[in-house]
Amino acid sequence: MKAVVITSPGDPEVLQLQEVEEPEIKDDEVLIKTEAAALNRGDIYQRQGFYPPPEGASTFPGLECSGIIEAVGENVSRWKVGDKVCALLSGGGYAEKVAVPAGQVLPVPSGVSLSDAASLPEVACTVWSTVFTMSRLCPGETLLIHGGSSGIGTFAIQIAKFKGAKVFVTAGDERKLAFCNDLGADLCINYKTEDFVVRVKEETEGKGVDVILDCVGVAYLQRNLDCLNVDGRLFIIGSISGFVAELNIAAMFAKRLSIQAAALRTRSVEEKASIVKEVEKNVWPAIMSGKVKPVVPQRFPLGEAAEAHRLMESGNHIGKILLIA
């Protein structure tokens, strides 16, 4: 089969489409003939040499895909050959075929195309496990999403609104802010021209938001705490601004704030299966009803993975970027 290989750590041109051996499935896995794979920021970090795959995972990049099941392991009962599915991966999505634990597989939601379904597993599992399971966002509360026009952001806006929350977002230009507004965001803040802490305080009569989903990290850490409400929860899912910060924790004591951080890829197979099960139960109905939709304006052939990475690194995209196998 063909797969995108990271020939050495570096810039996008190190991604090369090559002939490789097909994966062999274990008893609790299925083999998916890939229709599409979606890009994630972790793919870029892996290409650069900063985010190696977990032990035993495929060395090819790609944390989510969609396709048709081609083979099933001896212990797999739910899935059968020919099923149209999408899957959460530890790696290997940038390939014509991928082996994945059966518990990390989801049916393609009705009303969603097979290729677009590739854009759903990583964002759905990330947002559900962080915003709802761990940060306990409730109807009537307010969620602030940094990077509202990203794949994570565009999904989080929709599912949070579906669940009855108010949603604030930050983004870096008017085109992205308009897109977030069209998805249902209640307040759209241009972080380049406005102070998001000031805007949040103005909009909430000085109280602040209840939950923040943050991919910026260090640069926003203190300011995030400053715009949280009493009992507010900050969840960090990335840190594009670095990893070392100095923090005045007085606000944490005064307002009973909590900070959490997590990555999805490094969780155990059992944990991922549990999250996937919860996503199918709680998120898939929203997608099947048409209230939450994939946002996939950009698609590239598998052999143009380097160009897809350049687009993601430019920051000019909205939503998810797909590679079509």
Query: Regarding the domain with residue range 2-122+265-324, which homologous superfamily does it belong to in the CATH classification?
Result: Medium-chain alcohol dehydrogenases, catalytic domain (3.90.180.10)
Parse the chain into domains and list their residue ranges.
2-122+265-324, 135-261
The answer to whether the CB of 229 falls within 8 A of the CB of 210 is yes
Dig out the tokens for 209 from the structure.
């938001």
* Amino acid in the structure at residue 238: G
pTM: 0.96
Confidence at residue 245, expressed as pLDDT on a 0 to 100 scale: 83
Query: Regarding the domain with residue range 135-261, which homologous superfamily does it belong to in the CATH classification?
Result: NAD(P)-binding Rossmann-like Domain (3.40.50.720)
CA distances from residue 25 to 14, 20, 116 in whole angstroms, order as listed: 28, 15, 25
How many C-beta atoms lie closer than 10 Å to residue 290's C-beta?
Answer: 11
Cα separation, 37 vs 296, in Å, equals: 12
Confidence at residue 243, expressed as pLDDT on a 0 to 100 scale: 86
Q: What is the mean pLDDT of the chain?
A: 97
Pairing state of beta strands 29-38 and 64-72?
A: antiparallel
pLDDT of 60 higher than 90 = yes
Confidence at residue 108, expressed as pLDDT on a 0 to 100 scale: 98
Average pLDDT over residues 259-271: 94
Q: What's the pLDDT tens digit per position in 77-136?
A: 999 999 999 999 999 999 999 999 999 999 999 999 999 999 999 999 999 999 999 999
Q: What's the pLDDT tens digit per position in 188-247?
A: 999 999 999 999 999 999 999 999 999 999 999 999 999 999 999 999 998 887 888 888
Confidence at residue 125, expressed as pLDDT on a 0 to 100 scale: 98
Which residue is listed with tokens 């939950």? 211
pLDDT of 251 higher than 90 = no
Nearest by Cα to 100 from 85, 115, 116: 85
Cα separation, 262 vs 73, in Å, equals: 30
Average pLDDT over residues 14-33: 98
Could you say which DSSP state residue 287 is in? H
Same fold, 2-122+265-324 and 135-261: no
Show Cβ contacts of residue 155 under 8 Å, excluding neighbours closer than 6 positions.
120, 123, 124, 127, 292, 295
pLDDT of 49 higher than 90 = yes
Confidence at residue 241, expressed as pLDDT on a 0 to 100 scale: 78
Confidence at residue 240, expressed as pLDDT on a 0 to 100 scale: 82
Confidence at residue 284, expressed as pLDDT on a 0 to 100 scale: 98
